[in-house]
Amino acid sequence: MRWSPIDAPLTSTLPLLGGFWLLASAFVDCSLLPLPLVTDLLLIELSSQHPARMPYYAAMATLGSLAGCICIYGLARKGGEGYYRKTQGRPPGRIGALVQKYPLACVIVPAAAPFPVPFKPFVIAQGVFQVPWPAFLIGTLVGRGWRFLMEGLVGARYGSVAKQFMLSRKWASAAVFLGIVIFFLLIRSVYSLRAAKHSQAD
């Protein structure tokens, strides 16, 4: 294939357009229409093709996801529990109790969790139960940023192998993540109980 001068701008522009598509797919996935694994696989693919641009791709995916979450959070905050029932078909229940008890953790943990751990029901519950805007914004930014940065690093390092692992081992990775979260919550509960006993003894 013979190289022509038009190839140069195309070669330099396509990686940048990839960032735009990451922004768009992450926004749509978190706001309008679920796109399971689309953003994740696109991020891994682009990071494997252009490792030097991986931080840019992770940042674009994070910003798109944050923008979509802000839309859902704002609607849920205005609509209250009725909005949750309408979108999820059930009352907040356990998710609502968790959000009220651990507001910041319930922002960061679902945002960082791998697929297929549900994310959007937590965002809606955060709005319904009035999680403060700063906690919501910082927690979502940290959680989504961590998830996409890790995926970008894995994609840049392992390429197509990372995509195959995500597709074939998604339940295993989700189980490991949830196990870590449950272990952390158990440790925290034990610590809280001990602190309560000491305060009663005093």
Nearest partner of 76 among 27, 34, 131, judged by Cα:
131
28 falls within a domain: yes
199 falls within a domain: no
Phi and psi at 39, nearest 5°, equal: -65, -40
Q: What is the predicted pLDDT for the residue at 146?
A: 93
pTM: 0.73
Number of domains in the chain: 1
Instruction: State which residues of the chain have pLDDT below 50.
Output: 1-11, 176-177, 180, 183
186 falls within a domain: no
176 falls within a domain: no
- Residue 145 sits in which domain range? 7-168
pLDDT digits (tens, 9 = 90+) for 148-186: 999 999 889 887 777 776 766 555 555 544 554 554 555
- Polymer length of the chain: 202
At 43, is the secondary structure helix, strand, or coil? helix
41 falls within a domain: yes
108 falls within a domain: yes
Q: What is the predicted pLDDT for the residue at 63?
A: 97
pLDDT digits (tens, 9 = 90+) for 112-128: 887 777 788 889 888 98
User: Residue 44 is which amino acid?
Assistant: I
Q: What is the predicted pLDDT for the residue at 181?
A: 52
